């Protein structure tokens, strides 16, 4: 049985007082490097929806950029399926020159 994990979001966290950003560590979040934004220093993070609510309630400005859902879904195939696909492609390539004759 696969364990479903909570959805997380890539965010930027800022505060009206840049000194308050030091206190973000008390939330125990997955944070990225500190950087200087357009107006003030900011932190990046990968957080759950509940964490966003906690940060906003504490007075931080949180900008959500996107979810952590992969942009490309991976497809898995057995070796036999992969091999059959490769053989079909090779056969298709070999037939092309004959069609032009």
8-67 maps to CATH 2.60.40: no
- The reported pLDDT for the residue numbered 97 is 66
- The reported pLDDT for the residue numbered 68 is 73
- The reported pLDDT for the residue numbered 56 is 95
- The reported pLDDT for the residue numbered 16 is 82
Where the chain has pLDDT below 50, the residues are 1-2
Q: Which two tokens stand for residue 41?
A: 């220093």
Residue 93 class from Cβ within 10 Å (0-12 exposed, 13-18 middle, 19+ buried)? exposed
Q: List C-alpha distances in Å: 7 to 11, 36, 44, 67.
A: 13, 27, 17, 7
- The reported pLDDT for the residue numbered 98 is 59
- The reported pLDDT for the residue numbered 1 is 44
* C-alpha–C-alpha distance, residues 50 and 20, integer Å: 20
> Which pLDDT tens digit goes with each residue over 77-89?
888 888 898 999 9
């Amino acid at each position: 049985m696969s364990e479903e994990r909570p959805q997380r979001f890539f965010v930027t966290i800022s505060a009206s007082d840049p000194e308050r950003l030091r206190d973000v560590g008390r939330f125990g979040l997955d944070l990225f490097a500190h950087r200087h934004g357009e107006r003030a220093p900011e932190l990046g993070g990968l957080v759950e929806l509940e964490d966003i609510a906690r940060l906003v309630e504490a007075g931080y400005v949180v900008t959500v950029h996107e979810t952590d859902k992969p942009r490309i879904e991976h497809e898995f195939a057995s070796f036999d399926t992969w091999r059959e696909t490769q053989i079909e492609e090779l056969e298709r390539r070999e037939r092309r020159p004959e069609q032009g004759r």
